[in-house]
Amino acid sequence: MSFSYPIPSTPRVISPSPTPSEASEAGRDTYFAPTTRSAAKHQHHKSPEPITEEKDGDGSSSSSDSSLDKRARTRSRSPGLASIGPAHSRKRRTSGLTPVKTGKKAAVKSESITNGHPVSPAGPNGHLAPYSYSTLQNRWREFSRSPSPLGLIPLHRHYRYLIHKHEIPRKALHVSIGFMTLAFYTNGLQTSAITPWLLSALIPCAATDYLRHRFQSVNRVYIKCLGALMRETEVDGWNGVIWYLLGAYIALRFFPKDIGVMGVLLLSWCDTAASTFGRLYGRYTIRLRSGKSLAGTLAAFLTGLLTAILFWGWLAPRTGTFPDDPPGAFLFTGELGLPHQLTQYLGWKPADATIGGAAALGLMSLWTGLVASFSEFVDILGWDDNLTIPVLSSLGLWGFLKVFGV
């Protein structure tokens, strides 16, 4: 059966994003009215990118729509992802339309994108950056002896400037031990009578510190009772009182009377002065090493010099000796001289190689200040300065007087 009218062909459906060939055919067969500039600009930003025709190996265009690898998707208009290229773009999985390519390297997680350009965090870029909290905290750790953040000891959080920053209760105890030492000295109490008390206090303090590190309940009670006298670094470490007692015991037990007393005085006053002035004025002076500034070292030097003048220039002559003083209790007797071998080598008389009075006191005080500043500045294997200051100071004074003492 034939029809008088021919059957029309299947109409061709034009997609919203025409291919280049469809656009050219439409341009030849269809007339479009003129478009204004504003409308063209609006249409340019509104319409998606045209679909690119993919060629087969022989140059003909592929008409197969069954492969998911050749289905088109609108390109992202994000300026950050559009300008960095496919190598650094973030891989996304969209319902199976975009196949995951494993051959390309995934984006580096540490890279940050700023205004469409990758910025590497390593290396300076020539611009100043504001201080962050971590930067300020690291700067504070270089000058502070309380580097831990607030919160380990509750009293440090409530009394931030009194206890945590300036350590007023701890420094008051530190300084008071020096005055107690002078009181014992003026009352005639010998060092041999003090050392057993120091040892009897050292053993229970060390045992308590060991127990609080083993049991958290003991540590909490310990911190609650003695937190005002502790540094936050001592929460998980040994308390400084242990090293203080050990250093004072060594200085008073193994050195002459005046050297041992000076070792405890330098520990009590020079360390406190160095810590106080270092925290107040250390930022205005050069840093000698981590945690040590020129201001703190100069404070230790001046305090040691004044302490020597006070003890050997005024207190020791005024107090005098005691009947039960052991032989050789005082190495500094007010005179200094060159060694006998050096005097003979130079051909001098003993009187010419000896000084006394204010000159000897001044030279001895100057050496004491140098020894105090050095013992406070030096770091020996990370040991606590409550141990190193009295031991090194006593060794320095004892060696100097053994060589130049008369």
CB atoms < 10 A from the CB of 223, how many?
20
User: How far from each other are the two terminal CA atoms of the chain, in whole angstroms?
Assistant: 145
Question: 266, 273, 275, 267: which is closest to 311 by C-alpha?
Answer: 266
Residue 94 CA, distance from chain mean position: 47
- 394 exposed, middle or buried (CB, 10 Å; 0-12, 13-18, 19+)? buried
CA 279 to CA 299: how far, in whole Å? Answer: 11
Q: What is the dihedral of CA 288, 291, 297, 303, to 10 degrees?
A: 180
CA 390 to CA 248: how far, in whole Å? Answer: 7
266: its two tokens? 């330098």
Q: Give pLDDT tens digits along the chain (406 positions).
A: 555 666 767 766 655 655 555 555 555 555 555 666 666 666 655 555 555 544 444 444 444 444 444 444 445 444 444 444 444 444 444 444 444 444 444 444 444 444 555 545 555 565 545 444 444 444 434 433 444 445 577 777 777 777 777 788 888 998 999 999 999 999 999 999 999 999 999 999 999 999 998 999 998 888 888 888 888 778 888 888 999 999 999 999 999 999 999 999 999 999 999 989 998 898 899 988 888 899 999 999 999 999 999 999 999 999 988 988 988 899 999 999 999 889 989 889 888 899 999 999 999 999 999 999 999 999 888 888 999 999 999 999 999 999 998 8
Q: Which amino acid is at 270?
A: C
pTM: 0.62
126: its two tokens? 């020539």
**Contact (Cβ atoms closer than 8 angstroms) between residue 335 and residue 406:** yes
The DSSP 8-state label assigned to residue 227 in this structure reads G
Q: What does the domain layout of the chain look like in residue ranges?
A: 146-404
Question: 157, 279, 319, 291: which is closest to 228 by C-alpha?
Answer: 157
